[in-house]
Amino acid sequence: MDLLKRKLAGIPYHIDEKGNVVVTDPFGLTTWVCAAAPPEVRDFVGGMGDIRKGGVGNVIAMLRVDYDCRPGVSKTIADFYRKAFHAPVLQHASGFAVQTNLGQVISFNETERAPPENGYDINPQLWGIHMCFYIEKYEENSRRLHDLFWVNPDYKIPPINDNVSTVEGALKSKQFRLKEVGDKFVLEHEIRAMDHPLSPLKSLKAAL
C-alpha cells in the first residue's frame, strides 16, 4: 500500500471505508479502485516488483473502474464486451457494467459531462489511458477480432516495440491492441494472453 501511494504522488486519490485506494485520472474521465484485488489474483502476484520503469509496479489489479461516456453509448459498449469476450454485463441506473471472471467491474456511466465518443482520436493525450485485459481462448479471440487490431504509434518503437497488426504477430507477442469498442466509441484496449510474459495470472490459467 505504501508503494502504491508513492506511485500516486501528485494524482488525486482517497482511501474509502473498505481501505481501497480510489483514484481519479488526471483528465477526470475515469475513476478506479485498486489494492483490494480478489485473493485469487493477490496470492499469485506477491513480490512481482516493478514490471518496467514507469509501469504498473505493484498495483495488483483493479477491483473496479468507472468510465464516463455520453448518453446512449454504454449499451453499445456493453454489447461489444458481451459479443467479443462473452463477458457478463448488467444494466444499472446510469449505464452498463461489465464483469470479469475474477469479479472485477468495469462500469460505463452515462453523463453529459463525458467527452464525445471520438475523444480518444481527437485528443492524443488520452492515449495514456487504456484498459489491459488477460483473456482465455486467446488465439480464438485474436482471429475473430483481427479486423479491429490497432497499433498505438507511441508503442510502435523501442522500448516497447508493440507493433502488432496481424494474427501471427498477436500469437507471437501474446498481445494485441484495439481502439474501437462498440458503435463509434474509441478507447485503447491492450488484450493479452493468460500466459503473456508479464501476466500475473499464468498460474491461474488452468483454473479459469
pLDDT, tens digit, for every residue of 140-189?
A: 999 999 999 999 888 887 767 789 999 999 999 999 999 988 887 888 89
The sheet carrying 105-110 orders its strands as 13-15, 21-24, 30-34, 62-69, 105-110, 95-99, 89-92
Q: Going by C-beta distance under 8 Å and a sequence separation of 6 or more, which residues neighbour residue 148?
A: 178, 179, 180
Q: Percent of the chain scored above 90 by pLDDT?
A: 35
Q: Percent of the chain scored above 70 by pLDDT?
A: 73
According to DSSP, the residues that pair with 175 across neighbouring strands are: 192
Most confident of 13-17, 63-67, 110-114, 160-164: 110-114
* Cα Rg of the chain (Å, integer): 17
pLDDT, tens digit, for every residue of 70-79?
A: 999 999 999 9
Greater confidence (94 vs 205) lies with 94
- Domains of the chain, CATH where assigned: 1-114 (3.10.180), 115-197 (no CATH)
Q: pTM of this prediction?
A: 0.73
- If you average pLDDT over residues 66-85, what whole number do you get? 92
- If you average pLDDT over residues 2-27, what whole number do you get? 74
User: In whole angstroms, what is the distance from residue 105 CA to residue 76 CA?
Assistant: 17
pLDDT at 92 over 90: yes
Band (47; pLDDT cuts 50, 70, 90):
very low
> Dmax over Cα atoms in the chain, in whole Å?
46
Mean model confidence pLDDT for the chain: 79
pLDDT of residue 71: 95
Question: Quick one: which of 88, 127, 93, 129 has its CA closest to 110?
Answer: 93
- If you average pLDDT over residues 123-127, what whole number do you get? 68
